[in-house]
Amino acid sequence: MGVKVMIPTPLRQYAGKRESVDLEAKTVAEALSSLTSQFGELKRHLYSDDGRLRSFVNVYVNDEDIRYLQKEKTALQQGDTISIVPSIAGGTE
């Protein structure tokens, strides 16, 4: 399926300064895997060392949070838009 992945501003520097990347994928996992094989530097910012999506990385398929769908197994349709949206966290020790 041809889908579009929207890249958030802080990560564009690792994706050839692109706002979006078009690729072929059947699931969200495939789309993110294809994205990170194309742009290797994105991986450390999206995934923690144990290979899981970082807690502050939010992924939407056409405005639906994948946490409320089938997470990374969410199936994609031709023309879907996947958005990577940051949440922000921090604090003192």
Partner 1 sequence: MIRVGEALIAKMHEHGAKDYPSECCGALLGSDEGTNRTVLGLVPLVNQRNDSPQNRFSITPEDVLLAEKEARAKGWDLIGWYHSHPDSPARPSEFDREHAWPWYSYIIFQVEKGEAREMRSWRLDDDRAKYEEESIEFISSVPR
Among 9, 17, 22, 50, interactor with partner 1 by CB under 8 A: 9
Does 40 contact partner 1 by CB under 8 A?
no
Using alpha carbons, select from 55, 14, 49, 57 the residue that is nearest to residue 35.
14
Beginning with the edge strand found earlier in the chain, give each strand of the sheet holding 20-24 in spatial order.
20-24, 2-6, 81-86, 57-61, 64-65
Q: In the window 42-71, what residues touch partner 1 (CB under 8 A)?
A: 44-45, 55-56, 58, 65
Burial class (CB in 10 A: 0-12, 13-18, 19+), 28: buried
Smallest distance, partner 1 to C-beta of residue 1, A: 24
Size of the site for partner 1 (CB under 8 A): 22
Does 86 contact partner 1 by CB under 8 A?
yes
Smallest distance, partner 1 to C-beta of residue 48, A: 9
